[in-house]
Structure 1
Amino acid sequence: MNIEVANFLKEHKLELLEDWMSAMKRDEGERSLSVISDAMFQEISKEFIEIAVSNIIDSESDYKKKVERFTERVVRIGWPLVFLMAGLDRLKTLILELMQREKEYSSEQTVELITEIDRWVAPMANQIVESYSNNWEKIVSLQKVALQELSAPLIPVFEKISVMPLVGTIDTERARLIMENLLSGVVKHRSEVVLIDITGVPVVDTMVAHHIIQAADAVRLVGSRCMLVGIRPEIAQTIVNLGIHLNQITTTSTLQKGIEQALEFTNRKIVMLKEGSH
């Protein structure tokens, strides 16, 4: 990198930071800065300028580590990659303006200066894009695993009775996960009755009903009984209108009624104790 540009960056780091923050607030403000406090924006902006200077003075491995930490942080707070790229473009413009303010350059010198600044920023931009993409993929993978773990749990509520509460839409991938968790959970908990609670499923169409029927059939194959609970009036009407037959599945309108029915299937029932009984 041009020695003059490098020295200027090191000497004017604080000035660049202030000007960059003001410019980004003015140009990008509401779109990306509303998600963080002013104090955090200042802290991250300082880190951004430090990375720019690190590109000059640090070893390649140290520089990459700093970029990795920085991009991991901005991914977590929700800054889009386009915001960082706009920030780099703004930084280039500010460096050029500040250098021209301090010294007069001829047309040829200005062109050479712009070329040197671009030459310095280009690998920095590539490193940020690569690191940002890697961190984004990591977070998406972690979120996907977390959602899968939470999306279809089988919960033992009584001996021999388990409940699988479903919330949200059910697509093919989630239906596969439901089937896997259902079968492994039935064996693990030795469940004789499994209640699939669809209270939190907003829409039951032909595909969703098909997946539920498949799950019930699979449960029967491993020697257990499947119940479908939480059927709201609008869901019942949809099932009838679609001509879907749930003849092989016991259904109830609420989870409470389903539990009572499941207890009867396992030769038990809920008994109200008289006052004073022990």
Structure 2
Amino acid sequence: MSLVTPFVPPEPDVAKLRSITFRRIASSEGELAELTIDVEGNVHGVYGLLTAIADELQLGDVHFSAAVSAAVKKHKNLFASKTSLSIEQEIGLFGELMVLEFLIAKLGPKDAVTAWQGPISEEHDFVFSDVHLEVKTTINEYRRHMMRGFTQLVPLRGVPLSLISIMLTRGNDESGLTLAQMVSRIRELAEGFRPKVDDRLDVLGWRDSDGGLYANYWTKRSPNRAYSVDDRFPAITLERLKQVVPNYESLGDLSYRVDLTHFKPDRLPEPLADLVEIFQEHS
């Protein structure tokens, strides 16, 4: 449902409101303002809001932006502020989608999307028969990654686990992509498996209506690295805590940061080897 009226600056501040959008339209009668609201089963509520805006314009003789602001305050229960992912969640999802993009190119959409198990199960981020991948992404200048919980870095069913370290930095519209652009790219590459991609995006908190909130352009800072989560890896697990912490069962949660900057990277099995690069001196 939309309201169209002659436009008088400034624009209404609705960027962070769900279900409501604004645009300026050029016409032969001059520039127009169009306010559009998704009904979503609440026709009467939306109609009441638009009527309140029209009343403010016609009876209150106020600017369009002020009319919108006043009407939204009166009908605040219709709208909830948009809530974007945290910056940590944003770059984390971006990193996983970078890996998914690589896998689609290497394995095809079916096998790549099927391997992306992290969002929908207790598995690691990507699951293969001979290796599991846990993806960690940072915008730090060093390979410092946040670990959460006691089981994130525990190999499952005897399958080797590798941590994939991705380093991002801010770019621009020529050198990088926003999260929304990356989501669009993956959906296109996924072809008929897009519904499965959308299911996983939904679990991770992605909402198409919030796409405009992600203004950062991201690009790789450094090559990806892989680190085998084995006996030498500094992972805190319940098995290790059991050996040194009294009454370890009483521990409720755990978060810690691992600095892999000077840690020796490892290789991945084919056909995943090209996902990461190896320092020449470690070849």
Instruction: Tell me if TM exceeds 0.5.
Output: no
Question: How high is the TM-score relative to the length of structure 1?
Answer: 0.31
- TM-score norm. by structure 2 comes to 0.31
Higher relative contact order (CA 8 A, sep 6+): 2
